[in-house]
Amino acid sequence: MEINYSKTLLLIIDAQNDFCPGGALAVNDGDIVIKPLNELSNNFAAKGGRVAATQDWHPEGHISFASVHSGKNPGDIIDTPLVKGQVLWPCHCVQGTKGADFHEALDLNPISAIFRKGCNKDIDSYSAFFENDRKTKTGLEGYLRSLGIETVVMGGLATDYCVFYSAMDCKKSGFKTIIVGDAVRGVGIPEGSVKKAISEMKTAGVNFCVSKELLETYD
Ligand code: VGL
Ligand code: ZN
């Protein structure tokens, strides 16, 4: 695949302990994404491309935690003052905890910027671009524009939440958006959500590839 590295950014989504096996909101085989992400990020950085990462970074008592709503369980869906249809999760990615750390095998050296999200107690943020009110910006779009980025290559966790919302917003914001299929894994709550997310992304014009295609370039 032909990549213009000066205009392409690799975005690593939420490659954190709590989304990996043993974590509070573990994604099946979540840690499988680390190896292709490391290969991609080192390749990008070596070729003059940029690599950024997001980190789910919640304060204690965050509104998305089922435990702060009496009688509610993870997987339940509620309306909050700022967001209708908020899915409730186990307590996860609490700021400063081990669960919020990047997976220990993730190579942080090629990463030049980290965007933390979900930091406001009253609103969740799946997308790397906008919080779940779909209005409040994280600053990522301005960062990409100021660097002249035209294409965003994405991998990480989870396919049906943060990767999905990030990819949809990325495409809508006018960037060519490519998901690396072997560098993403999904939560699957509710059932069928991964399949649905993938088909919606395809319909929206998000492209898919495998890491091998990006690593075996001759440019
Ligand atoms: C995520 C659920 C809650 C994700 C974050 O990174 O996909 N999912 N918070
Ligand atoms: Zn979260």
Is residue 117 part of the annotated active site? The answer reads yes
pLDDT of res. 216 = 80
**Is the distance from the beta carbon of residue 157 to the nearest atom of ligand 1 less than 6 Å?**
yes
Going from the Cα of 23 to the center of ligand 1, the distance in angstroms, rounded, reads 12
Q: What is the pLDDT of residues 22-31, one digit of tens each?
A: 999 999 999 9
Q: What is the pLDDT of residues 79-127, one digit of tens each?
A: 999 999 999 999 999 999 999 999 999 999 999 999 999 999 999 999 9
Cα distances from 126 to residues 64, 73, 130, 208, in angstroms, run 11, 19, 8, 20
Mutation choice for ligand 1 from 11, 12, 14, CB with most ligand atoms inside 8 A: 14
Amino acid identity of 98?
Answer: K
Q: What is the pLDDT of residues 64-78, one digit of tens each?
A: 999 999 999 999 999
172 sits in which H/E element: helix 162-172
Using CB atoms within 10 A of its CB, is residue 37 exposed (0-12), middle (13-18) or buried (19+)? Answer: buried
Average pLDDT on 12-27 reads 97
Residue nearest to atom 2 of ligand 1 (CA): 161
Q: What ligand 1 atom has the least distance to the C-alpha of 158?
A: 7
Catalytic residue, from 117, 124, 160, 170: name it: 117
**Is the distance from the beta carbon of residue 57 to the nearest atom of ligand 1 less than 6 Å?**
no
Going from the Cα of 85 to the center of ligand 2, the distance in angstroms, rounded, reads 15
Matching residue, tokens 């409040």? 136
Is the pLDDT assigned to residue 190 strictly greater than 90?
no
Matching residue, tokens 């954190």? 16
Is residue 93 part of the annotated active site? The answer reads no
Average pLDDT on 28-38 reads 97
